[in-house]
């Protein structure tokens, strides 16, 4: 039997997923967006700071709803981009993200596709993150159109500078379907099935057992004799 000592518990490791880079400008600055996880959950209370070729850049920031975003300046030539994650419980971890080549800002390419990056949820709401991407896979700032089953309307959501938009859908008692598309390409749709809200089963309360007719007659007879 385990002794249950706290010293035997190892906190989950912090990792990053769904990394999206913007397009470098003429000064070699580039936007970056990513999700931070602790184990299989979105991390909260994490401070992060980006690194270029091992050197910290910018100021420390705090992860908001699991997402870390920022703008960094690439070094001349090849740059190794990493992120330093700090948490009082999970510790400190430096996670390599990508190697980027310095390139001047080119003529903006057209947005090519819409892609679902991931989703998170609580008991009432589902948060879906989507990215507007060009042919090379870089994020493109703009809008995401979608049919909102909560309102019955077609709505639009602005993305951030890296082309990432997070859309909130309220869960209902029934399964729903959400259709996403780029305003530039309304004929190319991304369909997402939304699960029904989880219902906590209610435990039936025990009912008092009814007395038989014979028992009730005996009780009535005893009460008559006592009277």
**DSSP summary character for residue 139:** B
How many other C-beta atoms are found inside a 10 Å radius of the C-beta of residue 199? 7
225 by DSSP, 3-state: which?
helix
The domains found in the chain, sorted by start residue, are 10-101 (2.60.40.10), 111-194 (2.60.40.1930)
Do residues 48 and 72 touch, judged by C-beta distance below 8 A?
A: no
Per-residue pLDDT of the chain (227 residues; tens, 9 = 90+): 444 445 565 667 888 988 999 888 888 889 999 999 988 888 888 999 999 999 999 899 999 889 999 999 888 888 899 999 998 887 888 899 988 876 544 445 688 899 999 999 888 899 999 999 998 888 999 999 999 888 888 899 999 999 999 999 998 888 899 999 999 888 899 999 988 887 666 666 666 666 676 777 777 667 666 65
């Amino acid at each position: 039997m385990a002794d249950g000592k706290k010293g035997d518990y190892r906190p989950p490791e912090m990792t990053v997923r769904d990394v999206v880079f913007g397009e470098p400008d003429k000064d070699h600055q580039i936007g970056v967006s990513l999700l931070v996880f602790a184990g299989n959950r979105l991390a909260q209370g994490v401070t992060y700071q980006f690194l270029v070729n091992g050197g910290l850049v910018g100021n420390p920031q705090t992860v908001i709803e699991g997402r870390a975003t920022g703008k960094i300046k690439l070094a001349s030539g090849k740059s190794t981009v990493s992120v330093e994650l700090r948490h009082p419980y999970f510790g400190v971890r430096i996670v390599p993200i990508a190697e980027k080549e310095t390139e001047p800002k080119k003529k903006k390419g057209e947005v090519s596709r819409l892609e679902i990056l991931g989703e998170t949820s609580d008991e009432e709401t589902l948060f879906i993150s989507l990215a507007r991407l060009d042919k090379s896979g870089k994020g493109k700032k703009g809008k995401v159109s979608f049919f909102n089953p909560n309102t019955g309307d077609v709505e639009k959501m602005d993305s951030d500078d890296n082309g990432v938009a997070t859309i909130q859908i309220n869960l209902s008692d029934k399964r729903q379907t959400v259709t996403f598309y780029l305003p530039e390409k309304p004929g190319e749709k991304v369909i997402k099935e939304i699960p029904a809200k989880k219902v906590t089963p209610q435990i039936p309360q025990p009912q008092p057992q009814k007395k038989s007719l014979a028992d009730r007659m005996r009780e009535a007879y005893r009460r008559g004799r006592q009277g």
